[in-house]
Amino acid sequence: MTEVLVQVGSEERVPPVARVVEHPAWPVLKAAVEQIRPWQSKDGSIDFEAEGAPAVADAEAVVRRVAEAIDELSPLLPHDVAYHEALVKDLRRWADGGFEVPDFLDSLLAFHPAAKREDGLQHLVVFPMYTQNGNPDRNLEAVVLRMVWPEWLAELEATRYDNPLFCGITFEDFTAGYDTNSAVLFPETIAVREAPERFTWGGIFCDREAARFRAVTDAAVDILGLELPEDIAAMVHDQERCEKAFVLWDMVHDRTHSHGDLPFDPFMIKQRQPFWMYGLEELRCDLTAFKEAVKLESEGNEHGRDVQYAVLFDRMFRFPVSGDRNRNYDGLGGQLLFAYLHKHDVVRWTDNKLHIDWQRAPQVTNQLCSEIEELYRAGIDRPKLVHWFKAYELVSTYLAPHPGSRWAKGPDALDLTQPPRKLVDDVLPDEFPLSMFYEALSKKLKNVIASTKGITAAGSERVAA
């Protein structure tokens, strides 16, 4: 296609670009945001009395550059014009207010990515925010992303897995808060004066999830001597195919938090519970996605089998040995899945090699899902503390508790005159330690897992090599 220069009066502008990150204003915006980030405190404010702090005028000048770059880039994204206008106002109000704790509620309320889910649609997103599993501080971040919404996924959402707030997304480029393990863009992470009545979107970066999955699974398969079926081996080495598996997995997982027999707020917002409750909830959602994938495969859907093994391998290989052992509920879910399959003879660790019964794996994995669902259903009729003990009983059937655990000794070892939330203090940081199998695997996988920090689709080829 011939490029046409856009001319206004006697001025010539650069040719239009298809990608935001190719526009000259993007590196200006990104550099300005990176300049602001080290000046910010944990809550997002700038303390001008702190060592290394800028002059107020310098901070104002950098924020002005951010606002001007957004103004330049916004015409490339007509679907986000209202958001960008509100964003520039929020930036200027932050500067005018002396860079105190930022409040970007107005721009958050103007951002509606789920209202226009079109495959390949770009968004330029700038907010003061923390990045989950990444940076815990509310720093200014900028990210350019693309929507992942192919026709087959849109059809499944419309007819089978209704989830109007879900956004499958991929990275184009990002600032330092996303050069981490974070693979989500959630509105609740953004600095605002008050939480909105309801959130209207949630995004998950399927390219990072797929790239990380491929790197860790490939290494684990080699370390464990696991022989993969030909089609699953091909999936692990195909980034695009893995992204499709993850976006479908994520969509079903996300909606499951509000579906089923639920004895409590499924998102556990502002609730204090033992971390195995969070682990069971996340595992329930993953195993529901697995169960649906088994159905989809039986109906001839080409993505069904891929989702099953994305769930199994990510849960069994990466989750248990990622992060620290301080109430690591995702790690716990992976440990439970492996132990359940091991005790039901679906996985075997023999002659220093891992063997999987590929025929029985779907049936037995679905069986664990059913056990968790029954726990939830019965929990509706139980007091909270009884439900917590029943959940502990399920987990400890398959995972050995720490020998110093009070919870493992039963109700008589706890002060039951205290409210349940106080009894959470008696939960050990590592209530269910890693097995010897996982201790050994962790040592061999830790460098690979560390190498996936900040990974994207392009980086996955580098790590695999």
Q: Is residue 12 part of a domain?
A: no
Segment holding 163, helix H or strand E: none
pLDDT at 45: 98
pLDDT digits (tens, 9 = 90+) for 190-209: 999 999 999 999 999 999 99
Residue type for position 248: L
64 in a structural domain: yes
Question: Structure pTM?
Answer: 0.93
Report how far apart the first and last C-alpha atoms of the chain are (Å, whole number).
35
Question: Strand 202-205 to strand 184-185: parallel, antiparallel, or no bridges (unpaired)?
Answer: antiparallel
Mean pLDDT score across all residues of the chain: 94
Q: What does the pLDDT read at residue 269?
A: 55
214 shares a domain with 170: no
pLDDT beyond 90 at 266: no
The predicted-structure confidence for 96-141, as pLDDT tens digits, reads as follows 999 999 999 999 999 999 999 999 999 999 999 999 999 999 999 9
**Is 154 in the same domain as 297?**
no
Domain of residue 58, residue span: 17-200
Say if residue 243 is in the same domain as residue 185: no
Inform me whether the pLDDT recorded for 384 exceeds 70: yes
Is residue 141 domain-shared with residue 219, that is, in the same domain? no
Q: Are residues 158 and 217 in the same domain?
A: no
Q: Are residues 392 and 254 in the same domain?
A: yes
* pLDDT at residue 263 is higher than 70: yes
- Say whether both 119 and 230 belong to one domain: no
pLDDT digits (tens, 9 = 90+) for 130-161: 999 999 999 999 999 999 999 999 999 999 99
pLDDT for the residue 402: 98
Is position 9 within any domain? Answer: no
**Which string of DSSP letters, residue by residue, matches 220-287?**
HHHHHT----HHHHHHHT-HHHHHHHHHHHHHHHHHHTTSS--SS-TT-TT----HHHHHHHHHHHHH
Domain count, the chain: 2
Residue 253 and residue 113 share a domain? no
Query: Are 219 and 345 within one domain?
Result: yes
Torsion from C-alpha of 17, 20, 25, 30, nearest 10 degrees: -160
Domain assignment present for 2: no
Phi, psi of 409 (to 5 degrees): -80, -10
Stretch 344-367: mean pLDDT: 98
Token duo for residue 351 = 């002659």
pLDDT tens across 283-297, in order?
Answer: 999 999 999 999 999
Q: Single out the residue in 154, 176, 200 at which a domain terminates.
A: 200
Of the candidates 409, 297, 169, the one whose C-alpha atom is nearest the C-alpha of residue 178 is 169
Q: Would 393 be classed as within a structural domain?
A: yes
Residue-wise burial string across 382-415, b where 16 or more C-beta atoms lie within 10 A, e elsewhere: eebeebbbebbebbbebbebeeebbbbeeeeebe
Residue 418 lies in a domain: yes
Contact 463, 215 (CB under 8 A): yes
Q: Is the pLDDT of residue 17 over 70?
A: no
DSSP for residue 145: E
One domain, residues 238 and 299: yes
Q: Please check the confidence at residue 38 and state whether its pLDDT lies above 70.
A: yes
In a domain, 11, yes or no: no
pLDDT confidence of 18, banded at 50, 70, 90? confident
Domain boundary among 180, 200, 220: 200
Same domain, 398 and 254: yes
Residue that terminates a domain, selected from 140, 166, 200: 200
Q: Are residues 61 and 161 in the same domain?
A: yes
Could you tell me which residues come within 8 angstroms of residue 63 by beta carbon, excluding any fewer than 6 positions away?
32, 36, 91, 92, 94, 95
Beta bridge partners of 146: 122, 170
Q: Is residue 24 part of a domain?
A: yes
